[in-house]
Structures are given as C-alpha cells and as structure tokens.
Amino acid sequence: MIRNYFLTTIRTLRQNPLYTALSVFGIALTFVFVSILLLIVKSMNGDYIPPKYAERTWKVTYLFDENGRYVSINKGLCDALVSKMKTPEMMLVVNGEKFESDVVNDKIVGFSMKFVTKNYFDVCRLTFLRGRPINKQEIADAAPVIVIDRYISTQCFAKGEDPIGKTLELFGIQFQVVGIVENSSYFAYGARLTNANIWIPEKVIQRNVTYAMCFTGKNEASIADMQAEFDRALAEYNTATGNQYSVSNNAKGSIKQQGLTGKVTVTVCLILMLIPAFNILSLNVSKSYDRSEEIAVRKAFGAPLYTIFAQLFFENFLLTLTGAVAGICITPVIINAVDRWLLGYGDVPIAFSLHFDPTTIIWVAIPCVLVFSFLSGSIPAYITAKRNIVNVLKGEAQ
C-alpha cells in the first residue's frame, strides 16, 4: 500500500515540477527560520557561555537619574556601592564591551575586550578550548597575559598553530596567551558579562569604559535581600552626593529570569509555523481543485474515501519531509555564513555563534514535520475527497 502511495505521489509531483519546487522551497525556508529561532532561544536561556550561577545572580548595568535618563556606571560609583554590600557571596565589577582595533601581522584586527577583575572567572563561565583562565594573582599583579576567543586565534595566528604560550602584541605590549575560548554568542542572556574577543587583567592598560555590577547570592531567594541591600547603599550614596539615582524595575530578578521560558518558546514557534502552514494550505487547496476531476473519476470507479484522503495526505507528507530535510541540511550552512559575515563586518566582531545542535533540531523537526503536514495536507485532502462526484464532473464550482 505504501509503495503504491509512493509511486503515485512521485508520478503526480513530476507532472507539476513548479508546484513541487515551490512547496519544497517554502517548507525548507520555514524549517531554517524555525531552527534558527530555536537556537537563538536556547542561547538566550543560557545554554552557551552564560554566567555560572545565573539563577542566583543579579546585575546592575545602568541607573536612572531624577529625570528618568540613563546613567552609565563608572568605576568610582561601582567601588562606592560594592564596598557597602555584605549579603552577596561573590561580587563582580565588569566593564561593558570596549571596541578597539590594532595592527597584528600587518593587518588591522577589530575586537571587543574586557578587563578582568578578580572574580570574573568565578562568576562567568567561558568554554575553554585550550589553556586556562587568568588567575587572581595575575590579575592583582596586572600581568601581561591574555585569553582570546577562537575568532582572534584564527585572525592572529597561522592555521594549525597553537597560540598557547605564544605572545600577541597589542597596544605595544607583549601579551602571553594563556587560554583560548569558544566565540561568545550574541544572544546569550549574560552577553553583557561574557561577550568579548579578548580578556586581559584590568590594570594592564587604562581605558575609559562603563561598568556593570554583578552580585551572586547563596541561593535564588537571596536575590531579594541583595536588591534591598543595594537600594539602601544607593540611598546612602545619593544622600552623600546629592544625586537621585534609582534602579530600573527591569533589573529586578535573576539574570536567568531575563531569558525566554520554555512555554514562550513553544508558543512563538507554533505561531511562526502557522504562517507558512496557512500559505501552503492555500496552495494545496488551489492545487486540489485542479485534480478534482481525477479524484471524481477514481471515486466513480469505487475508490473509498479513506484511500483518496490517504493518497493526498501522503503526497503532502512527502513534500513536507523533503523540505524539512533540505532545511535541516542548509541551516548550519546559513548560520556559518552569517557568522562569517558578522565577524568580518564593521568594528564589532561578535557573531551569532548559535552552535548548530543536531539533537535539538532533530527532536523538534520531527514533531514539526507531523504538525506541518497535518495542517497543510489534511484539510485540502479532506475537502477534495468529500466533493460530490456529479457536481465535479459537471464542472460546477464548490
């Protein structure tokens, strides 16, 4: 039975190659889009290079003044507030991305850098490909050591060369490479803390940068206590300096709570899947009208309703499956192409770095194929199979 369905489907699809090509192309693009969306959501939920203790970590990246305008945080303000905090188990003062460029091996290389403070690698998790983090003694001594990401490794060292232990000259300083990490994801929920291309001890060079404060408690419940203590410290600072700084309500809650939840992920994916489903549904309904006479003749010769329905559904399922496989195959190609373009564009070499995950895509793709096939195939199949034979053969519109 399946063999007959398959042979009939191939024969039918070959009769209209344009329809077949458009259907497969539309389904492939849908799966590319949904796959990229899933990988973005996974990154935003912290699967790639997030802070270690996101569920019990709270950060403040900016303040508001009395007029509701953004106020960037400088090092002096950080030190004044952090010194009053007693509740956090760990505290981190980290600079925002500082974009620089320098000549390396006779070519200009753009990069984003972070100045590492003593608790940075305790709070933030980077995926080390080789080497180690900068240790606290090196930070205290302002030692000329550096951690680089995979992008800088490929830009500044020869292919196949191991940079660990080698020197990299930046800003006239000879840095020793101690670690290489995976590229940071642009979508990581801890991007403000982790996105960079190089990491160096904070006192090696001086730059005018903005800062953020990060507080890690003993457990998730301690976030409220840290926030209350910070509010008191900020009030004391305002009284002493005459300022009226405040914290945005959006800054409440842990870092992980800023990511999208699983329910939101499923809802968004279903909504986005419905858009192409309805488009292809319309295409299939239109196509089914062209085959009304064929189906009417088959019914006149005794073909049961379920056989006709199954044949039409199988045709659409095969189209959907082909488009899904094509989409899954080209998704990593598109992701890598976009990453290469972003890394080479402008002064901000931070890529999507979505890290194509076959397991995630396959487990989501199979249910999507079934849902997509059902939505766009079963309805026109049922409508076509139920048409009245006499009316169809008379050429009457339904």
Return the half-sphere exposure (C-beta side, CA atoms, 13 A cut-off) of residue 141. Answer: 8
* pLDDT tens-digit readout, 224-233: 899 899 999 9
pLDDT of residue 380: 65
* pLDDT tens-digit readout, 178-191: 999 988 776 665 55
* pLDDT tens-digit readout, 60-88: 888 888 888 888 888 888 888 988 899 89
* pLDDT tens-digit readout, 366-375: 676 667 666 6
* pLDDT tens-digit readout, 287-337: 666 666 666 666 676 767 677 777 777 777 777 778 878 887 888 888 777
Q: What predicted TM-score, i.e. pTM, was given to this entire model?
A: 0.65
